[in-house]
A and B are shown apart, each in its own frame.
Chain A
């Protein structure tokens, strides 16, 4: 069990806010941390890693990482940290980057083989692609066999194909090493595929905590197919009205009644939904 009860004043872009997180995470849980930028996600990870100070306590298993009296140094906390920008040592080879953390040659080879990187062990990181660099960074984070793996949007700079490959590798490592993982992510498919629990932060506070499906499936009433969009225009045709709505870089048209046409105003954010029985799927 990981018990987190911390408090920290943050200087947000608009106003100062309080990061206030009281949370228990089970061992081996895969937690996705979501929320708008500036909501305190990265700060929370950095506090857990000991890279930033905060008031309160952090307990991992029977070990106290932080309380009112003391704070364990980052290198003494059993964590792995994966950053969005890789943060590799370019003057060392791939293998040396891993061995820098822990001199375990067998573990190094094992990790490189799981991620299909064995051939690149002697290469310098700056000769690698983004996906390969992030694999090195992930392997390096696992070299300490961390109790807690922290990842800050590790895949957001990668293309969709590379993302889904790395998602599978992250899940393999998470299971094999039995770590508890906290990953900042905004991608619903990634959150759904990887996490067993989603925590949503807003203005430094937890506003939602549950399974990916409960939190990400946007529903109103019995509709299971629901999207938020901006109402761009309402056009009258014959006796019906057509609402033109922009959803995720696409336009959709929805037939509405005269009453609805009167009550809706152009520019407002609307929910477009239908029951799970209505849509059809084609390739």
Chain B
């Protein structure tokens, strides 16, 4: 499981549905969630989690995407299996993992040192705990 520490900067709510925005130094994240824990408030730091298989990678990307979370990252290691590829990336000093198919990894010619964009849907992001 991937973990990022971020600070809550805004919460928008409609009934039990919430969109929570976070900041991670110079980058922003947003999360779609049903009822929130009462400790989740603007200003608190949280651990955010996302599954490695829900993190997509874009390289030399231009155009627009609906992904709310588009994080600048650098590839620090690549481990290719027979079918899948585990890509470790650095985002503002935190290491995240993305699991993609080996085909995608080859097609994109991913290399250690590449600057890429991580794509995570707002619905795939969750708060692991409030710090």
Contact = CB atoms under 8 A, between A and B. Distances in A.
Interface of A: 235, 237-238, 240, 242, 253, 255, 277-278, 280-282
B51 A240 contact: no
Nearest to B128: A282
B16 interface: yes
Contacts of B34: 237, 242, 253, 255
Contact of A238 (B1, B14, B51): B14
B128 A238 contact: no
Nearest to A281: B1
Nearest to A276: B53
Nearest to B2: A280
B20 to A, nearest CB: 15
B51 A278 contact: yes
Contacts, number: 26
Nearest to B52: A277
Contacts of B16: 235, 237, 242
| Size band of the interface chain B makes with A | 10 to 19
A281 B1 CA distance: 9
Interface string B115-131: 00000000000101000
Interface of B: 1, 14-17, 34, 49, 51, 53-54, 126, 128
Given A242-B34, A253-B34, A280-B1, A237 B15 contact: yes
A22 to B, nearest CB: 43
17 contacts: A235-B15, A237-B15, A237-B16, A237-B34, A238-B14, A238-B15, A238-B17, A240-B17, A242-B16, A253-B34, A277-B54, A278-B51, A278-B54, A280-B1, A280-B49, A280-B126, A282-B128
Contacts of B53: 277
A282 B54 CA distance: 18
A277 B17 contact: no
A217 B101 CA distance: 26
B56 to A, nearest CB: 13
Nearest to B99: A277
B51 A237 contact: no
A277 B51 contact: yes
The 4 A-B residue pairs with the shortest CB-CB distance in the complex, in nearest-first order:
A277-B53, A237-B17, A237-B15, A238-B14
A242 B14 CA distance: 13
A277 B1 CA distance: 11
A28 to B, nearest CB: 36
B35 to A, nearest CB: 8
Contacts of B1: 280-281
A236 to B, nearest CB: 9
A255 B34 CA distance: 9
Contacts of B14: 237-238
A255 B18 CA distance: 13
Which of A235, A237, A278, A282 is most buried by chain B, counting CB atoms within 10 A of its CB? A237
Contacts of B49: 280
Which of B14, B34, B53, B126 is most buried by chain A, counting CB atoms within 10 A of its CB? B34
A280 B15 contact: no
Contacts of A235: 15-16
A240 B126 CA distance: 18
A140 to B, nearest CB: 48
Contacts of B126: 280
B96 to A, nearest CB: 14
A151 to B, nearest CB: 39
Nearest to B19: A238
A282 to B, nearest CB: 7
A280 B51 CA distance: 7
A240 B17 CA distance: 9
